[in-house]
Amino acid sequence: MMRQAKHANPQAVASLCENMQPDFLVSPSGPTFVRLLKECITSKDLERGTQIHAEVARKGLLDKNVNIGTTLVDMYAKCGLPVRAQQVFDKLPERNIVSWTTLIGGYANNDRSEEALWYFECMQEAGIPTNFVTFNCCLTACRTIKALDKGQAIHSEIERQGLLETNLVIANTLVDMYAKCGQLNEAHYVLIKLPLRNVITWKALIAGYVEYGHYKKALDCWEQIQREGVPPDAATYVAVLKACGMLGDIHKGEALHKMMESSGLLEGHFLLGSNLVSMYSRCGLLAKAQHVFDRLSVRNADCWNSLLGAYAENGHDEKVLKCHEQMKLEGVSPNFTTLICALNACGKVKDTVKGGEIHKDAERQGMLEEPVLGNALVDMYAKSGLLLIARKIFDALSVQTIVSWNALIAGYAEHGQGRKALDCFEQMQIEGVSPMLATFFFSLKACSSTKNMQKCEELHAEIERQGLLDSNLPIGNTLIDVYAKLGLVSLLQEVFDRLPARDVVTWAVLIGGYTEHGLGEEVLRQFQHMQSDGIGPNAVTYNLILKTCCTLGILAKGQEIHAEIEMQELLKRNVLIGPTLIELYSECGSLAKAEEVFNKLPAKINACWSALI
């Protein structure tokens, strides 16, 4: 019978147990049941394993044979039922290092890391010795939940037992644990102390560097791998490709591409293909990304998603939607990521027809319960101006996060329904959802459109309380702009003076505010301060100064600005400056100069003719 269990396939082995003769003809031994259970583990056959459990219990073998009990614990754990495994474990008459480690591993490998570490403590309290397998399971648990303190304590015990020098598996897991916890210096220190390291060791460190944004160090490790002659695997290539993409290092990226092709790894490997497409995209080489994609022998949803993401990141939303259509034509089913990417593109180009089709696809696939997809739908409809539909979907969301609130508030603010945007902001706060930067941007815009000075000042106070003016210049620029539109000139200057840093946009918004309220002398004074601060004006600022010169009739200053504009060739690149210059010369009586400017303009829009007439 043992020979049959050893050489039969899992189904045959399981049926062997099921079809056993009565006890007086055949009485299976403990080793036979262990072998049968191991075959159930291999085939993940929970039903048969449960039947064997019942037979073992009926025969009373659990009270006599610790190996059967331990194998049952392993069977339930490997079939994804760690609690059932624990129930068997609790009834074992005797628990040894193997049964404890099996239970701990069962919890660790089923995303129940807290329980795994708790049972490790129980094991230690029971005085059961540990081995490298126990430590490996516990380090896996520490890695998953980033339990650094416990991981460090286990590291100390591993060092005490001298396991790092003799066991590469546990060394690799230790490096990975430190890397996942963000302790990259410690991960590197462990790695360089190892007498032997392989691709798994290096991969753990490189992946950690990439995850925490240390892309240059990831590439340094890659160079060291090559010097040591360690053959990279697919996962290492994936991590290094990500580093190349984030750094825009096309030279190393292309070298990696050649290595993958020469090694044959790229052939039929979805993950490598999709990451190669993403790398070229991040380096700004969309044509190359498309070329790589076209050459992939097999393209699954992830490969398509990398191409869609490439076009999305570079603002080619129409191409995103074309790729989505082509993907379906080739018989590849869009997945969750595909639908999110396509919905975002629909929102940006305001394609509600296509967006509605994707909405139906998501509904057919049962994805509407996913909060991220729900948020994307709210955003798409809100950006497209279909605010009633956006609100209906928003109200149906199982969880309304700050992302969904932002999408709705932005939709109302962008489509002239500022009052509703501010109502949403208030309701959001009542429900205990804290605003983020984007929330303030859109709410301030709503204050501007509704002329709500009180709410603007309340938002300003909250922005100050959160310290956002000290860390985010765009929010300061927006606040200045809103105060200007509300006519609160003293407050716009107060915000400007409060900012720790100012860029050309800040100055342009300030000068624009004074221009809007006819404070020409203040406009020129601030322009002088801007130049003293070493900030070079942009086309918007020049246009504002020219308007002020026109209003005040200051031709000399206008001519000075005109000379700077000519030097920077801004007339060729900005259609708004020409009409303002023509108007300045016309209003100041220099009609010949106005006509000269008119004749030199590369494009003569209606405003140019109006200014000249």
The whole-angstrom separation of Cα 358 and Cα 337 is 12
- Mean residue pLDDT across the chain: 89
**pLDDT per position as a tens digit, 101-142:** 999 999 999 999 999 999 999 999 999 999 999 999 999 999
Phi/psi at 604 (5° precision): -110, 95
Name the pTM for this structure. Answer: 0.75
Identify the band that residue 186 occupies on the pLDDT scale cut at 50, 70 and 90. Answer: very high
Average pLDDT value for residue range 197-210:
96
Q: How far apart are the first and last CA of the chain?
A: 106
Identify the band that residue 240 occupies on the pLDDT scale cut at 50, 70 and 90. Answer: very high
Bin 561: left if φ > 0, else alpha if -120 < ψ < 50, else beta.
alpha
Average pLDDT value for residue range 11-20:
48
Nearest to 419 by CA among 445, 439, 400: 445
- Cα within 13 Å of Cα(112), Cβ side: 18
Average pLDDT value for residue range 485-510:
92
The whole-angstrom separation of Cα 435 and Cα 440 is 7
Average pLDDT value for residue range 497-515:
93
Q: Give the contacts of 351 (CB within 8 A, at least 6 positions apart).
A: 321, 345, 384
Residue 5 has pLDDT above 70, yes or no: no
Nearest to 210 by CA among 240, 169, 168, 186: 240
Among 246-260, 424-438, 587-601, which is the least confidently predicted range?
587-601
The whole-angstrom separation of Cα 213 and Cα 209 is 6
Identify the band that residue 25 occupies on the pLDDT scale cut at 50, 70 and 90. Answer: very low
Long-range contacts, 365-373 (Cβ 8 Å, 24+):
367/336, 367/339, 369/398, 370/336, 371/397, 371/398, 371/399, 371/401, 371/404, 372/336, 372/340, 373/336, 373/339, 373/340, 373/343
**pLDDT per position as a tens digit, 307-328:** 999 999 999 999 999 999 999 9
| Other Cβ atoms within 10 Å of 188 Cβ, number | 18
Percentage with pLDDT > 70 across the chain: 93
In this prediction, residue 2 carries a pLDDT of 41
Burial environment of residue 175 by CB neighbours within 10 A (0 to 12, 13 to 18, 19 or more): buried
In this prediction, residue 266 carries a pLDDT of 83
Contact 489, 523 (CB under 8 A): no
Identify the band that residue 174 occupies on the pLDDT scale cut at 50, 70 and 90. Answer: very high
Q: Helices 30-43 and 46-58, interaxial angle, to 10°? A: 160
The whole-angstrom separation of Cα 103 and Cα 134 is 10
Residue 15 has pLDDT above 60, yes or no: no
In this prediction, residue 21 carries a pLDDT of 41
> Residue 499 has what DSSP assignment?
-
The whole-angstrom separation of Cα 454 and Cα 431 is 22
Among 7-11, 422-426, 559-563, which is the least confidently predicted range?
7-11
Identify the band that residue 29 occupies on the pLDDT scale cut at 50, 70 and 90. Answer: low
In this prediction, residue 363 carries a pLDDT of 92
Identify the band that residue 590 occupies on the pLDDT scale cut at 50, 70 and 90. Answer: confident
Percentage with pLDDT > 90 across the chain: 65
**Token pair listed for 440:** 């303030």
Average pLDDT value for residue range 18-22:
45
If you search the block for the tokens 């397998």, which residue do you land on? Answer: 133
**DSSP secondary structure string for all residues of 30-71:** HHHHHHHHHHHHHHT-HHHHHHHHHHHHHTTGGGT-HHHHHH
